[in-house]
Amino acid sequence: MGIGTLMVETRCADESLPISGAEVTIRNHKQYDLQTDHNGQTEKVSFEAPDKIHTLDPSDPGPHSSTVEITVNKPGFVTTIVSQVPIFDGIDSFLPIHMHPAAEGWQNPERYVIPPPAVEGTGERFLQAVAVQNIPQSDPPTPEPFVLNEVVVPDYITVHLGNPYSIRI
């Protein structure tokens, strides 16, 4: 088993104000009760996750991550619950939580479920979608979406501003 970390950050007012003193509960096999600091951040918490070597083999069925559930509560704000938050081996995860002020007497929490990463598909989801939508076979198949771990900027970018022969000197 590998280790991945998670830090939660709470903010309000279009991400401009941190929420200090929010109670953050993280559950997997254990329960972690944390509180946000003056920057609206919790401390990093380490969790066991499947070894990242499994993500390098396309035929490995997984699981490629472990998951946790997070509950954030602060008086005066709507409670937020986020389920299926993935934890990956060797990755420092950061979960921003945007909290909304609660109307007096409001009791219903906001609930979010994070779907599994698109890279955990084998193309079967696309084939099932084609079967359901009856897309003609003459259309080329669309590649399965995937998410990269980091931002990739190409070394060379070509910008086309029009016909190169249209320039008059």
pLDDT (0 to 100) of residue 61 = 77
Query: Is residue 111 over pLDDT 70?
Result: yes
CATH 2.60.40.1120 fits 2-114, yes or no: yes
**Total-model pTM:** 0.67
> Per-residue pLDDT tens for 130-166?
444 444 444 555 556 667 777 777 676 666 555 556 5
pLDDT (0 to 100) of residue 116 = 72
Q: Which residue has the higher pLDDT, 54 or 97?
A: 97
Question: In this structure, which long-range contacts are made by residues 32-37, counting pairs with CB atoms below 8 Å and at least 24 apart in sequence?
Answer: 34/8, 36/8, 36/9, 36/10
Per-residue pLDDT, averaged over 33-48, amounts to 95
Please tell me the distance from the alpha carbon of residue 91 to that of residue 83, in angstroms, as a whole number.
19
Q: What percent of the chain has pLDDT over 70?
A: 71
CB distance 71 to 24 below 8 Å: yes
Work out the pLDDT band at 168, boundaries 50, 70, 90.
low
Phi, psi of 49, deg, nearest 5: -145, 155
Domain spans of the chain, in order of start: 2-114
